[in-house]
């Protein structure tokens, strides 16, 4: 097991710096209790990096990420780039370049429901019963990274997958299924797309190495429907880059708030942890954002590095806050607490 010592933080834009600050409080509380000396380095990504250097992911940031055992990202994005199709540099380019240059090919997004917060969901409680699944989204290939063409009268985005790109994430997804309920669903569009047919054949081939795992296939349009109609049918969901992007946002609605869901992105060498929510610019600087997704991203980080007691402490502290209704405004409590108060509370429960 790799040790966790050097952690690079990329607070990013919008509410990113606020939620990362709360996660750091929690990380330091863990360090104090268990005597870990984290070495934390900070670097720029996104709109703030463009403002400071002209580049959404400058080389110094890449270096700081390469030197780290793990990376904690807040969020990126600024509305000033959103409605400007002619913008030459965009915050998102920094994120994509980071994923590609660090080889973060597997994005892992668990979807979990908190019993006490079921009333927040737009779904009926019976639909949410037993919902507990995890999405494995391929992150460095497909239509996001294929050749792009922009001409006067047409544009195109190439969707390209190599066997090895499908194989490596498929093994991770099967291994995860073995630790869980032993069910894997490949989501694709194999009735139309050649890349999806490649995914199907590679995944079917690899499944013989995991005979205990029940494999099934769903087309993306049907999967989008099943996530809403019958979400408890899923255990591990495997998708290409674009389908995983869409399905994971859809699935996050089940839990009632995007502010609760963490994620991990893994590659050969690097591992990055981040909340699945965006930079929520309307809330930036107001101290109202929900820091729990980022705090739970630290929990995922610790667990991946084998720090089980430490990770369990975070789960306990977060559960305590949710159970007591000590919540930020997105979770609809009678009296909302501030982002910083919730960070203090979670950190304070780790003693
Ligand atoms: C995500 C985001 C990004 C993506 C954007 C910001 C480029 O939606 O991490 O899911 O599409 O991958
Ligand atoms: Mg997305």
All structural domains of the chain, each given as residue ranges with its CATH number in brackets, are 1-104+259-351 (3.40.718.10), 122-255 (3.40.718.10)
Residue 85 has pLDDT above 80, yes or no: no
Residue 1 has pLDDT above 80, yes or no: no
Spatial contact of 50 and 56, defined as CB atoms under 8 Å apart: yes
Distance 245 CA to ligand 1 centre (A): 7
Residue 63's region, left for phi above 0, alpha for psi from -120 to 50, else beta, is alpha
Kindly report, residue by residue over 228-246, the tens digit of the pLDDT: 999 999 999 999 999 999 9
Lowest mean pLDDT of 39-48, 95-104, 278-287, 329-338, name the range. 329-338
- Residue 144 has what DSSP assignment? G
Spatial contact of 332 and 124, defined as CB atoms under 8 Å apart: no
In sequence order, which residues have a C-beta less than 8 Å from that of residue 217 and are 6 or more positions away? 185, 186, 187, 188, 190, 200
In sequence order, which residues have a C-beta less than 8 Å from that of residue 253 and are 6 or more positions away? 121, 122, 123
Q: What is the atom index within ligand 1 of the atom nearest the CA of 107?
A: 9
Distance 37 CA to ligand 2 centre (A): 33
CA separation for the pair 147, 143 (Å, rounded):
8
Nearest to 134 by CA among 175, 92, 188: 175
Could you tell me how far CA 80 lies from the centroid of its own chain?
24
Average pLDDT over residues 201-206: 98
Average pLDDT over residues 189-215: 98
Average pLDDT over residues 134-141: 98
CA separation for the pair 75, 70 (Å, rounded):
16
Burial (CB count within 10 angstroms: exposed 0-12, middle 13-18, buried 19+), residue 281:
middle
Lowest mean pLDDT of 80-84, 153-157, 187-191, 194-198, name the range. 80-84
Closest protein CA for atom 12 of ligand 1: 245
Residue 11 has pLDDT above 90, yes or no: yes
User: In testing the pocket of ligand 1, which one of 95, 142, 275 has its CB within 8 Å of the most ligand atoms?
Assistant: 95
Nearest to 277 by CA among 12, 27, 8: 12
Spatial contact of 97 and 37, defined as CB atoms under 8 Å apart: no
Closest protein CA for atom 11 of ligand 1: 245
Ligand nearest to the CA of 92: 1
pLDDT at 47: 97
Residue 134 has pLDDT above 90, yes or no: yes
Residue 336 has pLDDT above 90, yes or no: yes
- Residue 68 tokens, joined: 């780290």
Distance 137 CA to ligand 1 centre (A): 11
Out of 114, 144, 273, 280, which one is annotated catalytic?
Answer: 144
Closest protein CA for atom 2 of ligand 1: 245
Q: Please report which confidence band the pLDDT of residue 83 belongs to, taking 50, 70 and 90 as the band edges.
A: confident
Place of tokens 């792009």: 148
Binding-site residues, ligand 1, Cβ < 6 A: 92, 95, 245
319 is catalytic: no
pLDDT at 92: 94
Kindly report, residue by residue over 259-278, the tens digit of the pLDDT: 999 999 999 899 999 999 99
Spatial contact of 178 and 210, defined as CB atoms under 8 Å apart: yes
Ligand nearest to the CA of 241: 1
Closest protein CA for atom 7 of ligand 1: 92
Spatial contact of 227 and 234, defined as CB atoms under 8 Å apart: yes
Q: What is the atom index within ligand 1 of the atom nearest the CA of 96?
A: 7
CA separation for the pair 112, 128 (Å, rounded):
10
Q: What is the atom index within ligand 1 of the atom nearest the CA of 274?
A: 9
Closest protein CA for atom 1 of ligand 1: 245
Q: Please report which confidence band the pLDDT of residue 258 belongs to, taking 50, 70 and 90 as the band edges.
A: confident
249 is catalytic: yes
Outline where the chain has alpha helix (H).
16-34, 47-53, 59-66, 79-82, 91-101, 125-128, 163-179, 194-207, 220-229, 241-252, 292-304, 308-323, 339-348
pTM for this one? Answer: 0.95
Outline where 186-287 has alpha helix (H).
194-207, 220-229, 241-252
Out of 221, 269, 286, 309, which one is annotated catalytic?
Answer: 221
- Residue 194 tokens, joined: 């050649």
Out of 78, 188, 240, 245, which one is annotated catalytic?
Answer: 245
Can you tell me whether residue 146 is helix, strand or coil? coil
- DSSP string for 117-135: GGGGSSS-HHHHTT-EEEE
pLDDT at 299: 98
Could you tell me how far CA 197 lies from the centroid of its own chain?
26
Rg (CA), the chain: 20
Q: Please report which confidence band the pLDDT of residue 86 belongs to, taking 50, 70 and 90 as the band edges.
A: confident
User: In testing the pocket of ligand 1, which one of 10, 92, 97 has its CB within 8 Å of the most ligand atoms?
Assistant: 92
Tally the C-alpha atoms within 13 A of residue 143's C-alpha that lie toward its C-beta: 13
- Residue 331 has what DSSP assignment? G
Averaged pLDDT score across all residues of the chain: 96
183 is catalytic: no
Out of 55, 132, 249, 287, which one is annotated catalytic?
Answer: 249
């Amino acid at each position: 097991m790799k040790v966790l010592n050097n952690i690079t933080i990329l607070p990013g834009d919008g509410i990113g710096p606020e939620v990362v600050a709360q996660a750091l409080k929690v990380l330091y509380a863990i360090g104090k209790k268990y005597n870990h000396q984290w070495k934390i380095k900070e670097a720029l990504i996104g709109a703030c990096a463009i403002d400071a250097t002209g580049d959404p992911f400058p080389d110094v940031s890449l270096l700081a990420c390469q030197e780290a055992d793990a990376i904690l990202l807040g969020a990126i994005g600024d509305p000033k780039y959103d409605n400007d199709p002619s913008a030459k540099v965009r915050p998102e380019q920094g994120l994509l370049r980071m994923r590609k240059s660090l080889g973060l090919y597997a994005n892992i997004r668990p979807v979990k429901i908190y019993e006490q917060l079921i009333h927040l969901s737009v779904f009926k409680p019976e639909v949410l019963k037993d919902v507990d699944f995890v999405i494995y989204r391929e992150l460095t290939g497909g239509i996001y990274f294929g050749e792009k063409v922009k001409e006067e009268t047409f544009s195109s985005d190439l969707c390209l997958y190599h066997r090895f790109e499908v194989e490596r994430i498929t093994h991770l997804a099967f291994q995860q299924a073995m630790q869980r309920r032993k069910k894997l669903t490949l989501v694709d569009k194999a009735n139309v797309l050649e890349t999806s047919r490649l995914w199907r054949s590679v995944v079917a081939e690899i499944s013989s190495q995991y005979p205990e795992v029940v494999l099934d296939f769903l087309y993306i349009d049907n999967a989008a429907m099943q996530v809403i109609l019958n979400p408890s049918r899923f255990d591990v969901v495997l998708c290409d880059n674009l389908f995983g992007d869409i399905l994971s946002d859809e699935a996050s609605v089940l839990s009632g708030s995007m502010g609760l869901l963490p994620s991990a992105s893994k590659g050969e060498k690097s591992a990055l942890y981040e909340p699945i929510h965006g930079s929520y610019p309307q809330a930036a600087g107001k101290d109202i954002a929900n820091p729990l997704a980022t705090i739970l991203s630290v929990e995922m980080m610790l667990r991946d590095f084998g720090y089980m007691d430490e990770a369990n402490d975070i789960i306990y502290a977060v559960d305590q806050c949710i159970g007591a209704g000590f919540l930020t405004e997105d979770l609809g409590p009678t009296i909302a607490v501030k982002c910083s108060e919730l960070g203090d509370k979670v950190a304070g429960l780790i003693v």
